[in-house]
Amino acid sequence: MHKKILVTGGAGFVGSHLCERLAEDPKNLVVSLDNYFRGSELNHVPGVKYILGSTSQIGELIDFTPDYIYHLGEYSRVEQSFDDIEKVWQFNKDGIFSVLQYCRKTGAKFNYAGSSTKFGDGGLGRSQSPYAWTKASNK
């Protein structure tokens, strides 16, 4: 059975490794949606289709119905998040909202990469940075 898989953030460090693993199965069609804020073309994996764009544009940019969506395409820097609050909100809140709406519309199964940051300090770490708060509140 062929599986259509979308990986948001597939050109990032973790996303590229996930794409690599998923693309090992020739029955999988693997597509990455990445805005290249942290991702890089150097992380591209053979056999994976790459689409440049934001997760908030998922409904406009993805022209197929995925079976699975692995959502890794979010802002992921703790210290820098204090200086990039607008980007953190755009990537981590607006982005996940669009991805979830897309899953609801298409029936794609959703897989989310949460964050260990929210578990720091016995759970108190969830409110210690814009990054940690958005990740914890998305779960």
The domain limits of the chain are 3-138
Residue type, 139: K
The model carries a pTM of 0.86
Residue type, 38: R
71 DSSP β-pair partners: 8, 112
**Closest-CA residue to 91 (of 107, 72, 110):** 72
**Closest-CA residue to 73 (of 50, 45, 47):** 50
Q: Measured between alpha carbons, how far is 3 from 67 in angstroms, rounded to an integer?
A: 6
Q: Measured between alpha carbons, how far is 102 from 91 in angstroms, rounded to an integer?
A: 15
- Burial of 53 by CB count in 10 Å (0-12 exposed, 13-18 middle, 19+ buried)? middle
- Extended strands (E) in 21-122: 28-34, 49-52, 68-71, 109-112
**pLDDT the model gives residue 88:** 75
> How many other β-carbons are positioned within 10 Å of the β-carbon of residue 121?
11
Q: What is the pLDDT of residues 61-74, one digit of tens each?
A: 999 999 999 999 87
Q: What is the pLDDT of residues 76-91, one digit of tens each?
A: 767 675 777 787 777 7
**pLDDT the model gives residue 115:** 58
SS3 call for 11: coil
Give me the residues of the chain with pLDDT under 70, please. Answer: 1, 75, 77, 79, 81, 114-127, 129-139
Q: What CATH number does the domain located at 3-138 have? A: 3.40.50.720
Pairing status of strand 3-8 against strand 68-71: parallel
